[in-house]
């Protein structure tokens, strides 16, 4: 299956739009693992095992592993997820952005070394910085579009005077991704849950693309507002199927660190279950 097929299958099987972000910070681990970077795999694998039947995707953030020289543990974790939760696609949150042979190496890292099903990218350097990833047919690539951080306004919310209609930069990115950049139907967009109006705008501009929506939970994004802005009923009024892309709503810290005790995996499952059901209820209300 290609990445979009994997997403659809996981959404149906787990009845979920929830993505669990794997951002392991040893300083926040439970007491018996705290400040021990050699336990990153153990911590993350326990989270994966506790939540694999509740999610549409997992999203490991590469910096949290690289900062602790834990790339080997990330490889181990990727293998564990493919082995124990093969129905759940894996989005490697790398936010790479470079051109030519360097981008080719980053693509090898994401898809060959780590075996990710999709990767996050910065589109700032243009289409040729994205194309090496699109050579991996069946893989997904999510372009940063309207991110959840306040500093996103510095560039993403600025108007492009040289483009017809003078769109905001994030609107231009959405149009490119929906249009001629999406060579093999592999692109998606990253839009922060902290900006529901912008999610709605991106969905209007890119109706068929999957949207990766971080920012629910610790960053303060509202799950109900997020779903209402980005999710669309998958059937039209006449019963025919629609081509609206899926949404993947990410929560990281609120789930990972739901408990500081030995019950951290059980607490993570409970938080994931609650968030999954909030998102499901929002779909029914939308």
Which of 95, 135, 228, 274 is flagged as catalytic?
Answer: 95
Give which of 203, 221, 227, 239 is closest to 285, Cα–Cα. 227
Output the six-digit token pair for 228: 């209402």
User: Contacts from 241-244 at CB under 8 Å and sequence distance 24+?
Assistant: 243/207, 243/208, 244/203, 244/207, 244/208
In angstroms, the CA 148 to CA 94 distance is 16
Q: What is residue 12's three-state secondary structure?
A: helix
Is 95 one of the catalytic residues?
Answer: yes
Give which of 92, 29, 83, 24 is closest to 57, Cα–Cα. 92
- Calculate Rg over the CA atoms of the chain: 18
DSSP letters for 178-204: HTTT-TTS-EEEEE-TT-HHHHHHHHH
Residues marked as catalytic: 95
């Amino acid at each position: 299956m290609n990445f979009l097929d994997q997403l659809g299958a996981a959404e149906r099987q787990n009845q979920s739009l929830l993505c669990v972000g794997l951002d392991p910070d040893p300083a926040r681990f439970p007491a018996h693992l705290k400040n021990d970077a050699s336990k990153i795999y153990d911590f993350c694998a326990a989270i994966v095992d506790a939540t694999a039947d509740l999610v549409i995707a997992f999203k490991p953030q590469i910096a949290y592993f690289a900062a602790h020289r834990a790339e080997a543990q990330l490889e181990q974790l990727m293998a564990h997820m493919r082995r124990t939760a093969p129905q759940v696609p894996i989005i490697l949150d790398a936010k790479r952005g470079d051109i030519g042979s360097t981008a080719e190496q980053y693509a090898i890292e994401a898809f060959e070394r780590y075996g990710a099903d999709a990767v996050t990218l910065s589109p700032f350097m243009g289409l040729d910085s994205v194309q090496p990833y699109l050579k991996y047919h069946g893989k997904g690539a999510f372009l940063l579009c309207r991110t959840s951080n306040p500093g996103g306004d510095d560039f993403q919310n600025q108007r492009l005077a040289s483009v017809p209609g003078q769109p905001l930069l994030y609107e231009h990115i959405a149009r490119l991704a929906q249009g001629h950049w999406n060579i093999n139907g592999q692109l998606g967009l990253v839009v922060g849950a902290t900006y529901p109006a912008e999610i709605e705008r991106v969905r209007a501009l890119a109706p068929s693309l999957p949207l990766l929506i971080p920012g629910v939970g610790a960053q303060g994004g509202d799950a109900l507002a997020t779903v209402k802005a980005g999710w669309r009923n998958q059937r039209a009024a006449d019963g025919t199927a629609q081509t609206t892309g899926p949404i993947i709503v990410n929560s990281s810290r609120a789930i990972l660190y739901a408990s500081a005790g030995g019950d951290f995996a059980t607490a993570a499952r409970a938080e994931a279950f609650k968030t999954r059901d909030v998102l499901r209820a929002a779909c029914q209300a939308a």
